[in-house]
Amino acid sequence: MWYEKLKIKKIQSDDILKKESIHPGVMELLIRDLTYFMITDRKKDAFALALNGFYVERHNYLENFALANEYLDDITGLDDMSLQFARYLIQGEVWNRLGTSQDPEKVKMLTKDDIHNIRVMVTRCLEFTSLFCTVSYVRFHDLDDVYQNVIELGHGNVLGRSCLWMIKTSKKKPTQEQFFQLLQYYILGKHFRKEQFRFVDKIGIFNPRLNAVFQLKINDLDDDILNKARYNLIHYEPKSVDVIEEIPYLTKKRDRYVVGY
């Protein structure tokens, strides 16, 4: 099985994670967006999905626009207050993903153990990028429209020179489904011939909770896995015929447009 070809590397750390009081999914959003911010120093880009949640999901647009930007302004690093305001702000991304609305000021305060874990895991992500990944891009803004048309949820996360990475904070090892999702992003990047994907020949997941790197070479994948990703899972539905004509490698199959390169 292709999944058995994963290369796993454990990174040593003296920091011990403690019991958390927040939902695991919210913790992953916090770790990911804070890592983006610390890597790029671009707050609006790093917390773009959270900001969008405030703008779209809440009724009082002007009030929430101001509130979201106040939270954003107060995030300056990994100090306690910055992490608490990041927790408030990230509620907007929760609204985006779950379709629910909740006053961020009613969100529970982070505990000391929560803050400790967030700081440790973001620091581990930064150490990971320095050891394993010379970061080229995060979130691939120039492919956003393509990804949104093809894949409803999820993000490619971090793109290095030779590997496309995803950050996950589960207590368990990555699943085949998560690598399959990464494979879809890889194929899309290659298909649309983005310059930043030219030397990418691997996909990988870094888990700061486990402090472990999981990596897979594309050449180790069988053709049937690649074909399944291309034709069964990835479909592209252009908004107009003009768009279709601009993409010569896009073919139509069973009344939908599919990626093949």
159/163 Cα distance (integer angstroms): 6
For helices 61-73 and 48-57, give the axis angle rounded to 10 degrees. Answer: 160
Whether residue 8 is contained in a domain is answered as no
Residues 43 and 118 in one domain: yes
Local structure of residue 231 (DSSP, 8 states) = I
Angle at 205 between CA 177 and CA 26, to 5 degrees: 80
The pLDDT, as a whole number, for residue 63 is: 73
> Average pLDDT for residues 176-187, to the nearest whole number?
84
pLDDT tens digits for range 65-104? 788 999 999 999 999 999 999 999 998 888 877 665 666 6
Tell which of 130, 161, 188 closes a domain: 130
Q: What percent of the chain has pLDDT over 70?
A: 71
Q: Structural domain tally of the chain? A: 2
Give the pLDDT confidence score for residue 150 in this predicted structure: 44
Pairing of strands 158-160, 163-167: antiparallel
Q: Which domain holds residue 80?
A: 16-130
SS3 215: strand
SS3 category, 250: strand
Average pLDDT estimate for 49-73: 78
Better-predicted residue by pLDDT, 76 or 6: 76
In a domain, 84, yes or no: yes
pLDDT in tens, 194-219: 777 888 899 999 999 999 999 999 99
Q: What is the chain's mean pLDDT, rounded? A: 77
Is residue 5 domain-resident?
Answer: no
Residue 93, domain member (yes or no): yes
Residue 52's pLDDT band (cuts 50, 70, 90):
confident
Identify the domain boundary among 130, 159, 184. 130
Calculate the CA 235 to chain-centre distance: 20
What is the chain's length? 261
Is 10 within the bounds of a domain?
Answer: no
pLDDT per residue over 223-251, tens digit each? 878 877 776 555 544 333 333 333 333 33
Give 205: exposed, middle or buried? Use CB within 10 Å, 0-12, 13-18, 19+: buried
Are 138 and 255 in the same domain? yes
User: Distance between CA 44 and CA 50 in Å, rounded?
Assistant: 9
Same domain for 208 and 224, yes or no, is yes
Rounded percentage of the chain residues whose pLDDT exceeds 90: 35
pLDDT band at 138 (very low <50, low <70, confident <90, very high): low
Looking at the fold, whether 139 and 121 belong to one and the same domain comes out as no
Residue 240 structure tokens: 């107009």
The residue-averaged pLDDT of 29-55 equals 89
